[in-house]
A and B are shown apart, each in its own frame.
Chain A
Amino acid sequence: MLESPSQAILSIRGLHKAYGGNTVLKGVDLDVHRGELVFVIGPSGSGKSSLLRCCNVLEPVTAGSILFDGEDITAPRVNLNAVRQKIGMVFQHFNLYPHMTALENVMLALRKVQKLPRPEAERRAREALAQVNMLDRATFYPDQLSGGQQQRVGIARSIALRPRIVLFDEPTSALDPELVGSVLEAMRGLKATGMTMIVVSHEMGFARAAADRVVFMDGGVILEQGTPQEIFEQPRHERTRAFLSSVTTRH
């Protein structure tokens, strides 16, 4: 299928998510276009992470639809294992496989899901590690790596599968401040390759510098969205202003 650059890769419509009686997403609509970096901000409990985790159906959605490349991935008979190879995810706590080296972490899905022969899988894994500047640590185990290094391996693990989009769930929140930079640099590098990204994070400086669009969520809905300039300099909503001032006065 031919598509114009402006066509949405991911198109979320009327998304609801409830955990038992607790509704955390109350009708979210969002389009993410090819090559775009969409930055999602909002107070804790606003539903940002739930939104992200619905995007690869790690959480089953309660209502609404998510079109990925035109296919509704919330439909019951969708092959999620196939879909998830095209939607990478990077986790707050890295979630590296502790019994495998960095290289093996990146290779596992290449071998077992994409069924690549070992030399080809290793070549692709090394390529991905090089992209996040971690090739020199390929044989290290996760507990021999710093948090920032682990997170970059986490990024390599997801991009080695050559996804169409990568979801970042608070990728730097568990890191010591001095380690944040290397991860953001890897993300900037990924953006430069034209990767489509959705980032849930509190790194406002990074949002200003790298985001194409900033989305502010509160109470399970998108309250407003716009360019970083619009959101950070002329927020229309009182709650956006209150949130931004609370995070900027923290420093």
Chain B
Amino acid sequence: MNTQGLIFSFFNPDVIGKYYPFILSGMWVTVQVGAAVVATGLALGFLLAYARACGLRPANFLIVAFADVLRSLPPLVGIILLFFAFPYIGISMSAFTATWLALSLVLAAFAEEIFWAGLQATPKGLMEAGRSTGMGWGQTMWYVVWPHALKLTIPPLTNRVIAIVKNTALGAVVGLAEVVNNAQSATSSAGSATPLTLCALGSLAIFLPVVLAGRYIEKRFR
């Protein structure tokens, strides 16, 4: 085994010393976009499922259409469209905004379907029980139906959140200075693969806690 070669290419101390601030700044961008996507994507998905539960036919058609289109569309296409095509209709946005918006919409579409499935899997009798004690529809949804439904949604939701947040790396195509993009640039200019090692460690540092948190939440709410 060529240990020296391996260390020189992938764990080069000089390269680490020179490029780690660049990788860290990429990590920070990834965390920011990721957190923003989770917040808005889940919130929008929840609101859409709530709206769908109200049972207004035209609204439901639009919600289902939104969910189906965005679940089919590759997220990369969404980012490219927002960043490169929208300026032609007078809407320009930063790479950060384009990545955040595209991934938020995709997460919202999946989250809506997951929340909706949770509502569907909740026994009808819970709503009836709440209503029979004089609680309104909204009150019963809030205090009884949602807590039950959300518990069911936690495992599929954490999986989906992780899968979509990892797509922040797609922001590289529009020049978003997130961790993978920065690592690639650093790799080219340093002529060493060491920044990719840093990127791998950095990504683990970001996403492993998310995965573990998901596991904890699943166990907690079983």
* Chain A interface residues toward B at CB < 8 A: 56, 58, 81-85, 87-89, 91, 93, 95-99, 108-109, 112-114, 154, 157-158, 161
B131 touches which of A58, A82, A98, A112 (Cβ 8 Å)? A58
Residues of B79-132 contacting chain A, CB below 8 A? 123, 125-126, 128-132
On whether A158 and B151 interact (CB within 8 A), knowing A95-B123, A112-B143, the answer reads no
- Asked if A112 contacts B129 (CB within 8 A), the reply is no
**Complex A-B: 23 CB contacts under 8 Å:** A58-B128, A58-B131, A81-B134, A87-B132, A88-B132, A89-B129, A91-B125, A93-B123, A95-B125, A95-B126, A95-B129, A96-B129, A97-B129, A97-B147, A99-B147, A108-B135, A109-B135, A112-B139, A113-B133, A113-B134, A157-B133, A158-B132, A161-B134
* Chain B interface residues toward A at CB < 8 A: 123, 125-126, 128-136, 139, 143-144, 147-148, 151
B126 touches which of A58, A87, A97, A161 (Cβ 8 Å)? A97
Looking at chain B's contact residues, is the secondary structure mostly helix, strand, loop, or mixed? helix
On whether A84 and B134 interact (CB within 8 A), knowing A99-B148, A108-B143, the answer reads yes
- Asked if A91 contacts B129 (CB within 8 A), the reply is yes
A112 touches which of B125, B128, B132, B135 (Cβ 8 Å)? B135
Give Cα A95 to B132, complex, Å.
11
- Asked if B148 contacts A98 (CB within 8 A), the reply is yes
- Asked if B133 contacts A108 (CB within 8 A), the reply is yes
Residue of A nearest to B128 (CB): A58
- Asked if B148 contacts A84 (CB within 8 A), the reply is no
- Asked if B133 contacts A158 (CB within 8 A), the reply is yes
On whether A56 and B132 interact (CB within 8 A), knowing A98-B148, A108-B143, the answer reads yes
Q: Smallest CB–CB gap between A161 and chain B, Å? A: 6
7 closest A-B pairs by beta carbon, nearest first, are A109-B133, A95-B129, A95-B125, A85-B134, A89-B132, A113-B134, A84-B134
Q: Which of B128, B131, B132, B147 has the most CB of A within 10 A?
A: B132
